[in-house]
Amino acid sequence: MPEELLKELQALITEGRSPFSDELDAMSTREILELINREDAMVPTAVAKVLPHVEKAVEMVVGVLQSGGRLFYIGAGTSGRLGVLDAAECPPTFGTDPELVQGFIAGGYGALIKAVEGAEDDATGSHEFLQQNKLTSRDCVCGLAASKRTPFVRSGLDYAKSVGARTILVTCNPPESADTQIDVIIAPIVGPEVLTGSTRMKAGTATKIVLNMITTASMVRLGKCYGNLMIDLRATSDKLRERARAMLMLLTGIDYAEAERVLTAAGGELKTAIVMVARRVDAQEARSQLAAAKGQLRSVVGDDLLPKAGK
């Protein structure tokens, strides 16, 4: 069994040795940094090649969320941390319920700040988490595994398929015939790492880029922005409250004091406040109009409010 695992690992691109860094320990600091920078520059090109697959994933996620389903990220190590990070940033950025996009890392949340060695080999943890969260066929599970073989991820995807949930795999190795049951495979091939096997580097960067795309594009499609403004942000800090006021002032022309008054009347909901001013209605009517438009602000107020950037 160990010998079979060794052969499996040796076949992975992410475990390969880069011919450009075989003298890494003999390089100067500047040479090391220049090499890492050159290798990192390959990542956007690798992601660009798989955009059709990212597009398919986004369309699927949008459909799932519109139908009342949820998106779950599952992963180990760097991949798991990136999934939890992406999920955690959705509520403040897009005003979503924390249950809508969730991330789970092998080893539990303690593994976010301290490596839990061997957690990726846990073939039960991910599907136990999904069972506890009552995964159904309305949901989507996105597995994050640079190597594509991580038992924690594969078992979770298998469980998701067994209940009829949609499935996505983000990996940095080419898919195989065994992966065909997964609905969407996103596999940016970034090549061997500068530091052999250290997939926190290029593979981690590629994964972060893909996750940024999936949630941002999905939320845009769901009406979470107007132009390029995040009008569904959750104003939970001084910075975000000021950002909300600034956007309301920009879009409606009202002054600071009036923006503060309207936002208070809107319960801190920026999108509601924009409709209140633009349509001269109270918060309840503004929410009703937004609900009728399925949350799409442009459908309620048109595009006249939106100035061009820099003007």
The Cα–Cα gap between 126 and 75 comes to 8
- 157 versus 12: which is more confidently predicted? 157
Any idea which fold 238-301 has?
Helicase, Ruva Protein; domain 3 (1.10.8)
What confidence score (pLDDT) does residue 5 get?
Answer: 52
Amino acid at 265: A
DSSP track, 159-213: HHHHTT-EEEEE-SS---GGGTTSSEEE-----S-SSTT-TTTHHHHHHHHHHHH
| Alpha-carbon dihedral angle through residues 184, 65, 96, 259, given to the nearest 10 degrees | 120
Whether the per-residue pLDDT at 11 is higher than 70: the answer is no
Could you give the CA distance from residue 10 to residue 33 in angstroms, rounded to a whole number? 27
Which has the closest alpha carbon to 127: 92, 162, 100?
162
Q: What is the mean pLDDT of residues 155-162?
A: 95
pLDDT of residue 178: 58
Judge whether 10-221 and 238-301 match in fold: no
- How confident is the model over 33-38, as a mean pLDDT? 96
Residue 283 has pLDDT above 90, yes or no: yes
Second CATH level (architecture) for the domain 10-221: 3-Layer(aba) Sandwich (3.40)
- CA 73 – CA 159 distance, rounded (Å): 14
Residue 9's pLDDT is 53
Segment 204-256, tens digit of pLDDT: 999 999 999 999 999 999 999 999 999 988 777 888 889 999 999 999 999 99
- Point out the catalytic residue in the list 39, 120, 193, 269: 120
Across the chain, mean pLDDT equals: 90
Per-residue tokens: 201: 């580097």
Could you list the beta-strand ranges (E) of the chain: 71-75, 101-105, 140-144, 166-170, 184-186
Q: Which pLDDT band holds residue 177 (cuts at 50, 70, 90)? A: low
Is pLDDT above 50 for 1?
no
How open is the CA angle 222-227-233, to the nearest 5 degrees? 60
pLDDT at 10 over 80: no
Q: Which position among 89, 258, 260, 285 bears the catalytic label?
A: 89
Let me know if 120 is a catalytic residue. yes
Q: Which of 43-57, 150-164, 260-274 has the highest mean pLDDT?
A: 43-57
pLDDT for 310 beyond 80: no
89 belongs to the catalytic site: yes
Let me know how long the chain is.
311
Instruction: Confirm if 251 and 274 have CB atoms less than 8 A apart.
Output: yes
* Annotated domain spans of the chain: 10-221, 238-301
CB neighbour list of residue 13: distance below 8 Å, 6 or more residues apart:
172, 173, 174, 189, 191, 192
Q: Which pLDDT score is estimated for 3?
A: 58
pTM: 0.90
Contact 215, 142 (CB under 8 A): no
**Mean pLDDT calculated for residue range 78-107:** 94
- Buried b / exposed e over 122-146, threshold 16 CB at 10 Å, is beebbbebbeeeebeeebbbbbbbb
